[in-house]
Structure 1
């Protein structure tokens, strides 16, 4: 299949991903067609298939890219030299990292959580494995805190999911220029998380 005139793989590929991300977040995966994505990018619908086999593959690619970027960014922040480290310090680092990272990617975050139901069984399993890796990183911190006597938790897995759910809430209501700066919001959330896991 001939590439659309003026189309360059190193430019068009990222533009397709960007357009799909925005459209999926705005209208929902099921409501967006490949033709709409092509129109947004400014290429013929058939040209999309030079970059992705189908819409399902595109959704999976967006989710996988987001999760791999998240995991790499966290590993860069929580380096081996920090391990085992002080659990309270590492938990604070996680809270601030999670809010800061996700606030810069609201569309990717929305899709990562709201469009899981639209993944094929195989793709769902792959994304869930990546999500568990991130959750496991937080749970390891919480377990270490329990072992050291700093944290009091009846179930570290539930606590892990509860903390992540709490932090994700920031993305639904925070607006730049509001009453609190993002740093101040991070401080408030860190205080809430700290109090929820300490005796």
Structure 2
């Protein structure tokens, strides 16, 4: 089959992933066909297989890219002098990073169930790495006497769920700026773990 005019792998490959990301976030993985993705990109359905083996691979690649970007961005942050400063940094980072990626966040949380067991295990390992960073900050804060947290693992999950929730309601054109939202959330996080 001939390549659609104007279709080049270095251009079309990213467009395929972007279209799949948008459609999965809007309609759900199960409801989106390869034919629909192809239509969104403007190529014939059969041409998609030049860029991905299947729909499952697209879902995994979207989640993997999101998690790799998240971990890389966190790794680039400077070390903090104590747990309180590290927790503030984590809180602000999490809100800022995720607020600009609503589709990726939705897919990362809502479509995990659609991954194959092998792909799920890989994504879950990356998620545990990220969650482990917050848990380590909480444990450090307890050791320093700055935080009072009975169950750091449970607190980690609760704080991440609370911070990720910003994506469901925050709008750039809303009453509060992202900076103001960060301040409010940092205050809530700080109070939640205060000794």
Tell me the TM-score normalised to structure 1 length.
Answer: 0.95
Q: Distance in 2 between matches of 1:12 and 1:169?
A: 32
The reply on whether 1:55 has 2:55 as its aligned counterpart is yes
Q: Distance in 1 between matches of 2:23 and 2:188?
A: 34
Is 1:17 paired with 2:17? yes
State the partner residue of 2:133: 137
The runs of 5 or more residues in structure 2 that have no matched partner are: none
For the 8 Å contact 1:20–1:37, the answer to whether it is kept is yes
Deviations, residues 44-90 of structure 1 (Å, cap 9, x unaligned): 1011101110000110000000000000001111x4xx26x211001
Instruction: Name the count of aligned residue pairs.
Output: 195
- Secondary structure, aligned partner of 1:7: coil
The alignment's C-alpha RMSD in Å is 1.0
Calculate the TM-score normalised by the size of structure 2.
0.97
- In 2, distance between residues paired with 1:97 and 1:66? 15
Structure 1: segments with no counterpart, 5+ residues? none
**What does the per-residue CA deviation read over 1:62-120, in whole Å, with 9 as the maximum and x for residues that have no partner?**
0000000000001111x4xx26x211001000000000000110000000000001111
Aligned to 2:184: 188
Question: Post-superposition shift, 1:2?
Answer: 4.7
Please give the secondary structure, in 1, of the residue aligned with 2:76: helix
1:3 partner SS: coil
How far residue 4 of structure 1 moved from its aligned partner, in angstroms, is 3.0
Deviation string, structure 1 residues 139-176 (Cα, Å, up to 9, x no partner): 11111101100010111100110110000111001111
Secondary structure of 1:176's partner?
Answer: coil
The answer as to 2:76 corresponding to 1:112 is: no
- Counterpart-to-counterpart distance in 2, 1:136 and 1:115: 22
Displacement over 4 Å in runs of 4+: none
The Cα shift of 1:121 comes to 0.7
Per the alignment, in what secondary structure is the counterpart of residue 175 of structure 1?
A: coil
Q: Tell me the distance in 1 between the aligned counterparts of 2:61 and 2:10.
A: 16
What is the match of residue 173 of structure 2?
177
1:40 and 2:40 equivalent? yes
